[in-house]
């Protein structure tokens, strides 16, 4: 088995590379060229979370496996490990750490929501200052955002975030309140592992586009009124039902009233937007990203092909 070290991944691929690759992954999904078997997700009695995400694209099959231990602090993720196994057709299998790939393909996905639904947005709010939020910011700047308004609860984390993004072609403005951060923004990118909503319908600017980096059954960033009132475009309709916001909607009986974007009689998704089939409008439009295995496998293909080329 070929083992690809994490430092090779971190040092050889730019935000632009991940944006191009993720857009390609969404188009593969939208064209029906990618195969996405159901994810295998489990939370045991101790709170240990595991997720196996298989996918196939032309010439490659593989899966990502995530294991996450229970968090010890509210609003924080627990210790996590993630690997990708990639099997090129007729060639030796490869394995690589998935942490950087996951962070960057997630940030690329949320930023691509800007391209698909709010290409005019120059003033963008970033909620959270973790690794995925940093990836969101890097990719948003790559796509033309010129002012990033940043909020998290920790002043130290906000300052560190600003320092890490220094030198980019964008103004970084830090906020000590969420309300101040989102006021007047054209778009909001949120990646906060919170068990309680942080975005409320009454507080949102209008019009606004929102990328929600969700998918975790244990978290919910949107309050029910936002879910009910917005036009929502998920990356995967069935996976969305396992996310916190939509599990609440199912439990409380209003899931069928959610205004999911449609193409004709069927529910639309991000793949439709990536292929240019879907145009949406509304005061609040949400791209809801649960994370697709095709994103991981397509990114792993990018890494594998460059690694093999340089080491042959």
Q: How do residues 193-213 score in pLDDT, each as one tens digit?
A: 999 999 999 999 999 999 999
The pLDDT of residue 43 is: 85
Does 143 have pLDDT greater than 50?
A: yes
Does 75 have pLDDT greater than 50?
A: no
Q: In what order do the strands lie in the sheet with 208-213?
A: 171-175, 147-151, 123-127, 187-190, 208-213, 284-289, 231-234, 259-260
Q: Give the model confidence (pLDDT) of 266-289 as tens digits.
A: 999 999 999 999 999 899 999 999
Averaged pLDDT score across all residues of the chain: 94
Opening angle at CA 42, ends 240 and 84, nearest 5: 80
By the 8 A CB rule, do 274 and 26 touch? yes
The pLDDT of residue 73 is: 54
* C-alpha distance across the termini of the chain, in Å: 15
Question: Within its chain, how far is the Cα of 120 from the centroid?
Answer: 20
The pLDDT of residue 77 is: 55
Residues 77, 95: Cα–Cα separation, whole Å: 24
For the segment 178-194, the average pLDDT, to the nearest whole number, is 96
Q: Give the model confidence (pLDDT) of 114-125 as tens digits.
A: 999 999 999 999
Query: Please, which pLDDT band fits residue 224 given cuts at 50, 70 and 90?
Result: very high
By the 8 A CB rule, do 120 and 183 touch? no
């Amino acid at each position: 088995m070929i083992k690809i070290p994490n430092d090779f991944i971190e040092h050889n691929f730019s935000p632009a590379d991940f944006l191009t690759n993720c857009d390609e992954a969404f188009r593969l999904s939208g064209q029906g060229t990618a195969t996405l078997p159901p994810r295998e997700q489990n939370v045991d009695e101790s709170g240990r979370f595991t997720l196996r995400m298989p996918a196939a694209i032309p010439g490659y099959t593989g899966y990502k496996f995530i294991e996450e231990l229970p968090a010890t602090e509210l609003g924080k993720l627990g210790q996590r490990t993630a690997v990708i196994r990639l099997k090129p057709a007729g060639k030796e299998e490869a394995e690589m750490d998935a942490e950087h790939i996951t962070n960057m393909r997630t940030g690329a996905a949320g930023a691509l929501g800007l391209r698909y639904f709010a290409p005019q947005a120059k003033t963008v709010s970033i909620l959270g200052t973790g690794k995925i939020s940093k990836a969101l910011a890097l990719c948003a700047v790559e796509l033309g955002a010129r002012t990033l308004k940043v909020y998290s609860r920790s002043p130290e984390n906000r300052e560190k975030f600003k320092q890490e993004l220094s030198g980019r072609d964008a103004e970084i403005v830090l906020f000590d309140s969420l309300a101040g951060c989102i006021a007047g923004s054209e778009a909001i990118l949120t990646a906060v592992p919170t068990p309680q909503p942080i975005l409320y319908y009454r507080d949102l600017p209008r019009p606004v586009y929102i990328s929600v980096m969700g998918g975790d059954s244990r978290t919910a960033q949107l309050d029910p009124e936002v879910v009910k009132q917005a036009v929502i475009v998920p990356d995967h309709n069935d996976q969305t039902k396992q996310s916190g916001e939509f599990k609440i909607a199912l439990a409380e009986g209003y899931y069928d009233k959610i205004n999911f974007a449609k193409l004709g009689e069927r529910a639309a998704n991000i793949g439709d937007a990536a292929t240019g089939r879907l145009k949406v409008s509304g005061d609040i439009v949400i791209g809801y990203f649960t994370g697709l295995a095709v994103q991981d496998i397509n990114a792993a293909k990018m890494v594998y092909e460059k690694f093999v080329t340089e080491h042959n």
